[in-house]
Amino acid sequence: MEKGRVLLLSAGALFALAVVSILSLEAQGVGEAQAKAAARADVVNIDAMSIYGKLELPPVTFLHDKHTAALEKAGKDCKSCHLEKDGKLVVKFKREKDTSQAEVKTIYHKGCIGCHDDMAKKGQKTGPLDGACRSCHDAKPKIVSVKQEAGLTNALHFRHTESKEIPSGLKDESGAPSKDNCDRCHHEYNKDTKKTFYAKGKEGTCRSCHEAKPTKDVRSMSQASHDSCVNCHLALAKAGKKETGPVLCAGCHSKEGQDKIAAKNKEAVVKAGPEARLIRRQGMPDLTLVSIEKPVEGAKPMAMSPVAFNHKLHEKNVETCRACHHKETAACSKCHTVQGKKEGGFVQLEKAMHLATSKRTCVGCHNTSKQDPKCASCHDMMAARKNPPKASCNKCHTQGKLNVPAEPGSMPAYWAMKPEEKAAAAAELLKNRADKADIFNTDDIPEKVVIKSLVNEYEASEMPHRKIVLKLAENMKDSKMSGVFHADPGTLCQACHHNTPAGSKKPPKCVNCHGQAFDSKQPARPGLKAAYHGQCMSCHKSLALKKPLNTDCVGCHKEKKK
């Protein structure tokens, strides 16, 4: 009995070992297959049947551009797979809408396999035939999708609104096509007529209606954009226009395609000049005041100074309006009030503007900009301050005398101002605000600094101090934001000399604070050697300097001769 039990346990152990070995080999095989997999931007995951419940087989990995090229070679076009309605292609495959599960399944099998069969009969190279289910429904496809998310940036939007190839469908008072072609894309949906219409002055972002998934009356963002954009590009190509826009997946969704689009966007913005508005919308001001809404009855009076906001400048420095706004391009204070309300997710106005961890807030967006190597060299070493000095607040909350009537017991009624009044007030406040980075006179900046406090194995280190300061200043010259926050000559110095009083041309020596190797009473304060190396090496790393590397000791210190 005991012998049988031992044999049984041994057999069980061998079986478990075999299973583990098989699983390991299978995992290794999957890993190798994925490593050898081709990377493409035109991968379409066909899982249309999932709307009817759990899929019987894995989704189909479909290569759209590859099929488009094959059709073109055979003298065919998009209508081989897509129906045409009102002169436009329907995004869905060979149908206008989803009907029954059996019918949709038949459409796919008859359309795909039928095409492959026809090609095979002609002796042409083709895809899987009837019966080769797993060739299409592959749980471990050998194709890796590198599809990049695409979208209409502010600069790309500008190229569309300025394009002469996309005329408006509306007429002006003289009967000529309207100058603005916003009606070609923007629309609202009438639930009664179940049709879209153009509402002038109410243009919003596409995602204010079209979300990630479709609803009963509204298509998903993917469906709407492919329907509108691709059909428009195809129509332009058919009309023989020079600038048509991409019609293949890779044109918008590959890195190469997006790099080409970005280059053309930059070229268009530069050509338009600094005064051009990228987003033209009725009622959208160049300048405005960011202030609180009227306090609710009984609330404590607020004393917040308004912020003069240059909307025109900001729209050129962000990818899209959604960098700041959410679904709608409404004023921030509409949803984010002093107390917070449901429409704004109960995020109060103060948090919506100052939360450092969010890329949508003013402070958070500015912090993201600091991650640029040109800025990170200084800012990486600067500790984040929970309570910045008042002088920092005043950079945005510009102190100035505005003739705005105040309600009894309250702050001036900025909320009662008309848009043109806010624009004029913002211009007045910005008029005296410095927006160019400044440094001390060149003669006041030491040319070299010799660091010899730690001479031991190496010679003293000679730092080209003036050269470094001038290079950092050059890095900021084209940034308006840097200009505002570095307008005081001593600001740049504080990146290294962090305890220097503002405006001082002679900072205290590092050894004054970092004299001891380690001070148990101040464990966060490094010793002199650690302070030098931490500051200098981190700066070189952030700037991605190759000469000298942050780890190249002799690049800064010559070895002593023994």
> In this predicted structure, what is the pLDDT of residue 54?
92
The full DSSP string for 398-460 is --------B-TTS-B-GGGS-HHHHHHHHHHHHHT---S-----GGGS-S-EEE-TT-SSBPP
| Residue with tokens 């007529």, as numbered in its chain | 193
Is 562 contained in some domain?
no
As a whole number of angstroms, the distance between CA 496 and CA 465 comes to 11
Dihedral pair phi/psi, residue 487, rounded to 5°: -70, -30
As a whole number of angstroms, the distance between CA 460 and CA 558 comes to 8
Question: Is the preceding omega at residue 548 within 30 degrees of 0, hence cis?
Answer: yes
Is 199 contained in some domain?
yes
Is 254 contained in some domain?
yes
Examine the domain organization and report whether 98 and 165 are in the same domain. no
Is 407 contained in some domain?
no
> In this predicted structure, what is the pLDDT of residue 331?
85
Examine the domain organization and report whether 28 and 41 are in the same domain. no
| Residue with tokens 């895809």, as numbered in its chain | 127
Question: Using an 8 Å Cβ cutoff, are 499 and 459 in contact?
Answer: no
Is 280 contained in some domain?
no
Question: Using an 8 Å Cβ cutoff, are 52 and 101 in contact?
Answer: yes
Per-residue pLDDT of the chain (562 residues; tens, 9 = 90+): 444 444 444 544 444 444 344 434 434 443 444 444 589 999 999 999 998 999 999 999 999 999 999 999 999 999 999 999 999 999 999 999 999 999 999 999 999 999 999 999 999 999 999 999 999 999 999 899 999 999 999 999 999 999 999 999 999 888 888 989 999 999 998 989 988 999 988 888 898 889 998 888 889 999 999 999 999 999 999 999 988 999 999 999 999 999 999 999 999 999 999 889 998 877 788 999 988 888 777 766 666 788 999 999 999 889 998 888 888 888 888 889 888 889 889 999 999 999 988 988 999 999 999 888 888 888 887 766 667 777 788 889 887 778 888 766 667 888 888 989 999 999 999 988 888 889 999 999 999 999 887 777 788 899 999 999 999 999 888 888 999 999 888 888 888 888 787 778 888 888 888 877 777 788 888 888 888 888 899 888 888 888 888 888 888 888 887 6
Q: Which two tokens stand for residue 508?
A: 């205290």
Map residue 11 onto helix, strand or coil.
helix
Q: What is the pTM of this model?
A: 0.80
Examine the domain organization and report whether 547 and 501 are in the same domain. yes
As a whole number of angstroms, the distance between CA 152 and CA 258 comes to 11
Is 277 contained in some domain?
no
Examine the domain organization and report whether 263 and 175 are in the same domain. yes
Q: Which helix (DSSP H) or strand (DSSP E) does residue 45 occupy?
A: strand 43-46
Q: At residue 169, what is the residue type?
A: G
Question: Using an 8 Å Cβ cutoff, are 292 and 333 in contact?
Answer: yes
As a whole number of angstroms, the distance between CA 404 and CA 416 comes to 9
Examine the domain organization and report whether 71 and 117 are in the same domain. yes
Q: How many helices (H) and strands (E) does the chain have?
A: 20, 12
> In this predicted structure, what is the pLDDT of residue 138?
93
Cross-strand bridge partners of residue 463: 449
Q: Within 37-100, where are the H helices? A: 64-73
Percent helix, percent strand, percent coil in the chain, to nearest 5: 45, 10, 50
Cross-strand bridge partners of residue 61: 45
Examine the domain organization and report whether 476 and 540 are in the same domain. yes
As a whole number of angstroms, the distance between CA 388 and CA 359 comes to 19
As a whole number of angstroms, the distance between CA 389 and CA 547 comes to 37
Examine the domain organization and report whether 244 and 315 are in the same domain. no
Examine the domain organization and report whether 310 and 420 are in the same domain. yes
Angle at alpha carbon of residue 525, lines to 520 and 529, rounded to 5°: 105
Dihedral pair phi/psi, residue 290, rounded to 5°: -95, 115
Q: At residue 272, what is the residue type?
A: A
As a whole number of angstroms, the distance between CA 456 and CA 471 comes to 30
Is 300 contained in some domain?
yes
Domain assignment of residue 189, given as a range: 154-272
As a whole number of angstroms, the distance between CA 211 and CA 327 comes to 9
Examine the domain organization and report whether 491 and 548 are in the same domain. yes
Examine the domain organization and report whether 23 and 57 are in the same domain. no
Domain boundary among 111, 145, 179: 145
Is 436 contained in some domain?
no
| Three-state SS letters, 310-342 | EHHHHHCCCCCHHHCCCCCCCCHHHHCCCCCCH
As a whole number of angstroms, the distance between CA 21 and CA 42 comes to 36
Question: Using an 8 Å Cβ cutoff, are 401 and 388 in contact?
Answer: no
Say which CATH number the domain at 247 has.
3.90.10.10
Within 8 A by CB and 6+ apart from 392, the residues are 485
As a whole number of angstroms, the distance between CA 511 and CA 305 comes to 41
As a whole number of angstroms, the distance between CA 244 and CA 171 comes to 23
Examine the domain organization and report whether 476 and 419 are in the same domain. no
Examine the domain organization and report whether 79 and 173 are in the same domain. no
The domain total for the chain is: 5
Domain boundary among 244, 272, 300: 272
Domain boundary among 98, 121, 145: 145
In this structure, the number of other CB atoms found within 10 A of the CB of residue 481 comes to: 19
